[in-house]
Amino acid sequence: MEEFWIQLLAILTLLTQTCSASDATELIRAMGGSVTFHSNNTEGNGALWGFGDEPIVTVEFGDPPQPVFLKEEYKTRFTVSEDGRALSISQLRMEDAGTYSVTVDGKKSTFTLQVYKDLTEPTVTCEAQDCLDTICLFSLRCSVPHTGFGNVSYTWTGWGHLREERPVVLTVVDKSSLDKLDPLKCTARNAVSSRSVTVTTPEGLCPDTSSGRGVRFGVIVGVAVMVILLGLLVLFCKPQVTTAKYTTVYAEVGPSQPHLPNGIDGEPAAGESSSTVHFLIKHPEQVENVTVIDPELV
């Protein structure tokens, strides 16, 4: 019965408290760790500790202190120390993050707790690369998988770089001189931990360097094929020049046959009469030093 009234009094104290709280103290801890809230108020005979609007424990100051927990489950991870003026939480969980308070003689102090996971080892991946012989341009990304780490910052060092604070680094590397450079290292940090990963050679990150050359070679070959096809298309579409040929014209005239200079005399072919005249006519371009005669036919 006594515990019931203590719990009721604690709840009423939290709900009806009108005095202003002091500035909140911020604490950051890792999941699985512990935290201790300290009351700086040395007055009074007891304190009320709460989480948000929910009371956790009322305690009467003394050595040892006399705590009364509002829930049985609180006894497993919450402890009171320093004569009741300190509250500790062990085996922190993500859901423990929030606002805690302690009220002593009507004066309230608040604490803001943030809980984050310890970082896992970061991963470096190759986002892009372009190589010409041994000189390569790499775009590398450093990242931490999963969530619950809060704000994570990334720092690159090595490979002749100054300190660069960003998740992606763009670097030009001569692979023939990598053994003379410091290894490339990415360090990830959050509020409770830091982890690093070292890159010695880029081949493991960008194993498809040769395939990149293959793609460029394929593009070059494709362009060359297109040029050849266009050339053939232009060639076949041009108006073709008619090849000059000898043309024989047969003309039948009257019974008399004048002598024609530059004419061709010969015996009549089979089936032809003696009155048939044969002319050998060339294409104008093929006629050189030829006197054109207009024969007068009788």
pLDDT beyond 70 at 213: no
Q: Would 2-116 and 123-207 be classified into the same CATH topology?
A: yes
Question: Does the predicted TM-score (pTM) go above 0.75?
Answer: no
Picking from 99, 97, 90, 110, the residue whose alpha carbon sits closest to that of residue 39 is 110
**What CA–CA distance (Å, rounded) separates 187 from 152?**
10
pLDDT tens profile 161-205: 667 788 898 888 887 877 777 788 999 999 999 999 998 776 677
Based on DSSP, count helices (H) and strands (E) in the chain, helices before strands: 2, 18
Quick check: 254 pLDDT over 90?
no
**Taking phi first (over 0 means left), then psi (-120 to 50 degrees means alpha), and beta for anything else, what does residue 289 get?**
left
Cα–Cα distance, 250 to 278 (Å, whole number): 6
Per DSSP, 131 falls in state: E
pLDDT grade for 222, boundaries at 50, 70 and 90: low
Per-residue pLDDT tens digits for 37-87: 999 888 889 999 999 999 999 999 998 999 999 999 999 999 999 999 999
Residue 120 pLDDT exceeds 70: yes
Contact indicator for 123, 206 with CB cutoff of 8 Å:
no
Pair of tokens at residue 104: 């002593």
182 vs 169: CA distance, rounded Å = 16
219 or 106, which is more confident: 106
Q: Give the start-to-end residue ranges of the domains of the chain.
A: 2-116, 123-207, 210-240, 247-286
Report which of 45, 42, 48 is spatially closest to residue 19, judged by C-alpha positions: 48
**pLDDT tens-digit series, residues 123-166:** 999 888 888 888 888 888 999 988 899 999 999 988 776 677 88
Q: CA-CA distance, 200 to 220, in Å (whole number)?
A: 33
What phi and psi values does residue 221 have, to the nearest 5 degrees?
-60, -40
- Low-confidence winner among 118-122, 125-129, 286-290 (lowest mean pLDDT): 286-290
- Nearest Cα neighbor of 139 from 183, 202, 200 is 202
> What angle is formed at CA 236 by the lines to CA 239 and CA 233, rounded to 5 degrees?
130
User: Residue 229 — very low, low, confident or very high, per pLDDT cuts 50/70/90?
Assistant: confident
User: What kind of fold does domain 123-207 have according to CATH?
Assistant: Immunoglobulin-like (2.60.40)
Contact between 173 and 138 under an 8 Å Cβ cutoff? The reply is yes
DSSP, res 118 = P
The domain defined by 2-116 folds into: Immunoglobulin-like (2.60.40)
